[in-house]
Amino acid sequence: MDLVILGGRLVAPADAAEPVDVVIEGGRIAAVVPAGEAPAARRTLDASDAWVMPGFVDIQVHFRTPGATDSEDMASGAAGAAMGGVTACVIMPNTNPPIDTPDMVNEVLALADGVPCDIRTSAAITVGRAAERLADLAALYDEGVRVFTDDGDCVADDALMEAALAATVRLPGAVISQHAEDPAMVAGGVINAGAVAERLGLRGRPAEAEVSVVHRDIELARRTGGRYHVLHLSVAAAMDLVARAKRDGVAVTAEVTPQHLVLTEDDVERLGTTGKMNPPLRLADDVTALRQGIVDGSLDAVATDHAPHHPSLKERPLVDAPPGMIGVETMASVVWSELVASGQMTPARFVEVVSTAPARIAGIIDHGQPIAAGSPANVSVFDPAESWTVRAADLQSLSLNSPWTGRTLTGRVRHTVLAGRPVVANNDLCA
């Protein structure tokens, strides 16, 4: 045997309370046996007092390749992912140049060769992300793309959005992912339209800009039968629209970021430019509703919108600094600390929202599978008791814009196994 993960616990089936050994051979899980009964292996990893979970899947990251590799590159982005227990990522296409052709897909994926995370790419909905005409979605689909998005920008044009959603009907498993902010309503907006923006004399980005786009898109998804996904949903009223559409049988899903589950517009003054992102940090009532929604299934998945920016860019004034926060390395620990350790979410639901559901939404079939014989060996071993204090400089990212700096989190990834090979062992990257 290649590898045995010794003495961990599984979140499912629900009666699996006893520790197990997970036996890995040839990149797959060969067997799950009672602890102490595994055959000898070339390598072992200790999982005592830890959960053995399917590797986490982050379906919204920006690794800035090509175009801004001083902010992040494939190696640094993937290293952070691995340290965070993330075995698969979907990168966004707002690179320079943008990812909008099969050739660009192949070029970008070649740059991710050999990194310690399985990198998948989305592709732009429109040529050059210019919102003028559709990219060749069928050709991109044939190249393996399943997620289409102009992220960074919203597809505001009704006809373009309808055509994109209609196209997914003929592309099984494809999804149109929207950055849902009406560009006219957020023009010049810096942070949430609210008390903090008023106090700081800044133009705001209103919640209604998100709600109106989500409403429009759901109606288009209903009419076309296309599959629709809301990126980084931030407003309670938008979540309510998604939940209602699901009950109506519309093919809609939504993700939420860790920061929108914890932070509010009030944190912007403390965080400075690190607290600036699009869509912005909202209100305490939104946070309360979104936390309930990710537990009860109104929201489907957690994704980070990991958005590194070189420190020099975030040193600009709030008005000029680019939006975004890093988060791929801290995602699991933040969600565990805030929701599972506090008793609001079960470990089984945690696995669903950070692994199973995002893999399903993005059409990634060899991740998010149960820890069982026959599954691909993409595994995260998570210690629920380890507490650690985040320091941006200690994270793998080339950028420092973590909103969690100084925060002590409960729960940490101990090992990460990618296709049967340890990429993180005992909190350290493997060579």
Exposure letters 177-209 (e unless 16+ CB within 10 A, then b): bbbbbbeebbeebbbbbbebbeeeebebbbbbb
**C-alpha angle with apex 349: 348 to 355, nearest 5 degrees?**
90
Cα 226 to Cα 148, 222, 240, 363, distances in angstroms: 12, 7, 20, 15
- Cβ contact 122:149 at 8 Å: yes
Angle between the 207-224 and 158-168 helix axes, to the nearest 10 degrees?
50
**Residue 232 or 367 with smaller CB distance to Zn ion:** 232
Per the annotation, the verdict on 305 as an active-site residue is yes
DSSP 113: T
Cα 278 to Cα 48, 152, 291, 342, distances in angstroms: 40, 8, 19, 28
Q: Which of 186, 120, 122, 187 is nearest to 150 (CA)?
A: 122
**Residue 277 or 379 with smaller CB distance to Zn ion:** 277
- Cβ contact 51:347 at 8 Å: yes
**Residue 151 or 255 with smaller CB distance to Zn ion:** 151
Q: Which of 313, 306, 349, 300 is nearest to 329 (CA)?
A: 306
| Minimum distance from residue 5 beta carbon to Zn ion (Å) | 35
| Minimum distance from residue 179 beta carbon to Zn ion (Å) | 4
**Residue 52 or 361 with smaller CB distance to Zn ion:** 361
**Residue 3 or 302 with smaller CB distance to Zn ion:** 302
| Minimum distance from residue 229 beta carbon to Zn ion (Å) | 12
**Residue 52 or 161 with smaller CB distance to Zn ion:** 161
Q: Which of 89, 238, 223 is nearest to 154 (CA)?
A: 238
Interface with Zn ion (CB under 5 A): 151, 179
Beta bridge partners of 410: 387
Q: Which of 230, 188, 186, 190 is nearest to 207 (CA)?
A: 186
Phi, psi angle pair for 289, to nearest 5° = -70, -40
- Of 58, 153, 182, 305, catalytic: 305
Using CB atoms within 10 A of its CB, is residue 418 exposed (0-12), middle (13-18) or buried (19+)?
A: buried
| Minimum distance from residue 395 beta carbon to Zn ion (Å) | 21
**Residue 306 or 349 with smaller CB distance to Zn ion:** 306
Query: What counts of helices (H) and strands (E) characterise the chain?
Result: 14, 19
Strands 379-389 and 408-418 come out as antiparallel
| Minimum distance from residue 192 beta carbon to Zn ion (Å) | 15
Active site residues per annotation: 305
